[in-house]
């Protein structure tokens, strides 16, 4: 440790927040509007022995600050905040608690669940508390000219994955790198991403997090990582080396070199301190009322719009500053390409509910560093008015669960009609176009990390979450899945074929639809979680992708779909009005199997699951396209519209593998489309 040469702090500056190494020492600045005093506590390199306690000598507004001459990068520190212990008034100060700097760039230690860490226990928690380490102003990392990729939405295919689970069992990844950032950047992992043709990896949370006490007591962990404590620090358990920050950067640099963007799932809606019975780690002890939304009827309790015990209060300037500083850090210092915001309506909650013109959105809109990064909302939380799909500002992408539910219902025999299917396939204009937003702002998916895998959606109708320790009560009970005739795995060839055909149809529906597609890692190779549809706490073979059991044919099929999307962009880059263009041809025309336009009653006939789409302005294709959909169990004969030189079949999801997919071949009318499948045709080029 670079020990300070003087025992007294100088006033220093109130900015930037956090610890800043500079010539001659380190500047410390931490906000607290209600603290009465703030102590800087210095530790040995391991963070086990407290060496000094120094009062921060200056306060500017709500920021306590001081400059420590002679200190340098490597210094380990924490804070103790003095103030009233008045939970009923929203204050929970306890100077016996060592507190982590919210702006910590590197965190020392791992949180341990001991009584010393819980609630207002009077015993000191310094030995077990998390501390921060000061980073150098410039660590000299060689980016080798790396820049963000700015992949257009029209070319974006999102691939959601967990850093650990993706490579933990991959035989092609060096053993010491499996389950790490280095593993994701390995030749074997990159080869799979390139084979598929995805344009971006959307990583489940990589901010440093802790496990809930309840899970630890059961021998489990928060595998997904939605329990953040360090908004600037990469999760160290995902690193093969002691230097997680450098390893993460190397991963980003490698993926960028391969044309793959890196998008982070970020959790700014709550912190790991949970409810009023949770641990005091950082925010609660620094200024409880300044960080969290507290209930009006009792400020000893927390608003719980997140379902995680607390809700960060974006209305507070320092909370907003933390979020913005973190985003800027990950873009500027770590070169990520975008963010997926967990429970994003929390970030737009003002005094009177969700506000798309709120401070957070305005701050993002004007920030020069964050211009052009991909911003993706999970557009719901569990608070009042928390479902906000379609209501985010222009330029934001949103997970479209209406697409998910409609496509599941339509293909898997639940109540649905052709009008719903067509609306979702053609960009969900009712959600986005009405506010002048681009179709690519809807993220289309049928499976994400949250719920059944694609294989399990077609294998189980009842969740099997007993391993989570909640008596199978957790997870969604209404999944709109279908076991295809038998619950669980089976050797029945007919059931297996039915499941495989539907898996291909669902993948094709996502990847050929208008909007930005997202697939969950493992769905392209038949990954199963044994029926667990909420494996957030399963850091084991339940969630780790089993590469030894990979369905190579399904991988090839998925890659073919992505290739077709990129080549043809079947539903185009712009809105399809259904009205004729200047040459008298409609952009998009829907018809029944008999070749005739669908009437109002036919659109809403819940028993009919066959329809066709004539795509007259097919994006990048050189000729019109036909998409024929048959979600009925039986084969259906489609009367094809006339084309000067006929039609060629490009894709048939009833085929079992890419190897049997024909080269473009003539398609005669009427064309038989097998049950539970779709066919893509292109007009034959005129001679």
Q: Which residues are catalytic?
A: 342, 378
Long-range contacts of 481-489 (CB under 8 A, 24+ apart): 481/408, 481/412, 481/452, 481/456, 481/457, 482/412, 482/413, 482/414, 482/457, 482/458, 483/458, 483/459, 484/458, 484/459, 487/459, 487/460, 487/461, 487/462, 488/459, 488/460, 488/531, 489/459, 489/528
Give which of 493, 502, 618 is closest to 568, Cα–Cα. Answer: 618
Q: Tell me the three state secondary structure of residue 241.
A: coil
602: tokens are 């036919």
With residue 69 as reference, give the H or E element that holds it. Answer: strand 63-69
CB distance 375 to 406 below 8 Å: no
CB distance 386 to 349 below 8 Å: no
Q: Tell me the three state secondary structure of residue 196.
A: helix
201: tokens are 């990896």
**Other CB atoms closer than 10 Å to residue 164's CB: what's the count?**
23
The Cα–Cα gap between 87 and 84 comes to 9
**Other CB atoms closer than 10 Å to residue 391's CB: what's the count?**
18
Output Rg (C-alpha) for the chain, integer angstroms: 27
Q: Tell me the three state secondary structure of residue 73.
A: coil
The Cα–Cα gap between 21 and 217 comes to 39
Give which of 12, 20, 78, 10 is closest to 44, Cα–Cα. Answer: 78
DSSP assigned state of 655 = S
Backbone phi, psi, residue 623, to 5°: -150, 160
């Amino acid at each position: 440790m670079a020990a300070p040469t003087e025992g007294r702090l100088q006033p220093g500056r109130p900015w930037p927040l956090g610890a800043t190494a500079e010539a001659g020492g380190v500047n410390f600045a931490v906000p607290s509007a209600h603290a009465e005093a703030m102590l800087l506590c210095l530790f040995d390199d391991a963070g086990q022995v407290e060496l000094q306690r120094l009062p921060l000598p200056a306060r500017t507004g709500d920021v306590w600050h001081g400059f420590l001459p002679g200190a340098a990068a490597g210094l380990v520190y924490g804070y103790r905040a003095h103030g009233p212990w008045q939970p009923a008034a929203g204050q929970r100060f306890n100077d016996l608690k060592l507190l982590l700097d919210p702006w910590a760039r590197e965190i020392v230690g791992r949180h341990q669940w001991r009584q010393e860490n819980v609630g207002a226990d009077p015993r000191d928690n310094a030995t077990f508390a998390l501390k921060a380490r000061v980073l150098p102003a410039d660590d000299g990392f060689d980016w080798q000219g790396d820049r963000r990729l700015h992949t257009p939405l029209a070319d974006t295919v999102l691939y959601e994955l967990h850093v650990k689970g993706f490579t933990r069992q991959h035989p092609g990844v060096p053993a010491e790198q499996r389950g790490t950032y280095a593993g994701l950047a390995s030749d074997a992992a990159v080869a799979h991403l390139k084979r598929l043709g995805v344009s971006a990896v959307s990583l489940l949370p990589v901010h440093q997090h802790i496990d809930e006490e309840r899970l630890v007591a059961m021998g489990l962990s928060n595998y997904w990582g939605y329990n953040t404590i360090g908004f600037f620090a990469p999760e160290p358990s995902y690193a093969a080396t002691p230097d997680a920050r450098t390893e993460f950067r190397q991963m980003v640099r490698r993926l960028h070199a391969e044309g793959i963007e890196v998008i982070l799932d970020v959790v700014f809606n709550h912190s790991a301190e949970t409810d009023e019975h949770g641990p005091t780690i950082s925010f609660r002890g620094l200024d409880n009322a300044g960080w969290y939304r507290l209930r009006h009827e009792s400020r000893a309790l927390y608003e719980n719009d997140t379902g995680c015990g607390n809700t960060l209060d974006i209305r507070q300037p320092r909370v907003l500053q933390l979020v913005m500083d973190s985003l800027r850090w990950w873009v500027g210092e770590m070169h990520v390409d975008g963010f997926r915001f967990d429970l994003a309506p929390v970030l737009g909650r003002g005094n009177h509910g969700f506000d798309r013109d709120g401070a957070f959105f305005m701050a993002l809109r004007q920030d020069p560093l964050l211009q052009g990064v991909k911003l993706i909302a999970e557009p719901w939380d569990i608070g009042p008015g928390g479902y906000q799909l379609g209501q985010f500002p222009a330029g934001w992408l949103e997970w479209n669960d209406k697409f998910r539910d409609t496509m599941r219902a339509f293909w898997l025999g639940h109540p649905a009609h052709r009008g719903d299917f067509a609306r979702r396939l053609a960009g969900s204009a009712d959600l986005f176009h009405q506010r002048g937003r681009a179709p690519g702002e809807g993220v289309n998916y049928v499976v994400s990390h949250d719920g059944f895998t694609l294989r399990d959606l077609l294998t189980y109708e009842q969740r099997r979450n007993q391993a989570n320790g909640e008596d199978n009560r957790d997870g969604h009970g209404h999944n709109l899945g279908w076991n295809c005739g038998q619950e669980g795995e089976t050797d029945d060839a007919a059931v297996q074929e039915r499941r495989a055909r539907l898996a291909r149809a669902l993948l094709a529906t996502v990847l050929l639809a208008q909007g930005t597609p997202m697939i969950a890692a493992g769905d392209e190779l038949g990954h199963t979680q044994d029926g667990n549809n909420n494996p957030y706490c399963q850091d084991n073979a339940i969630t780790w992708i089993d590469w030894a059991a990979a369905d190579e044919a399904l991988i090839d099929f998925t890659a073919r779909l992505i290739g077709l999307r990129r080549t043809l962009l079947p539903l185009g880059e712009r809105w399809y009005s259904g009205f004729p263009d200047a040459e008298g041809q409609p952009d998009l025309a829907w018809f029944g199997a008999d070749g005739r336009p669908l009437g109002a009653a036919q659109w809403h006939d819940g028993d009919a699951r066959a329809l066709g789409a004539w795509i007259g302005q097919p994006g990048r294709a050189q000729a019109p396209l036909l998409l024929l959909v048959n979600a009925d169990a039986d084969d259906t004969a489609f009367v094809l519209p006339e084309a000067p030189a006929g039609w060629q079949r490009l894709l048939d999801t009833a085929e079992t593998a890419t190897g049997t997919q024909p080269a473009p071949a003539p398609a005669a009318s009427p064309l038989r489309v097998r049950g539970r499948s779709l066919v893509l045709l292109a007009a034959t080029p005129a001679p």
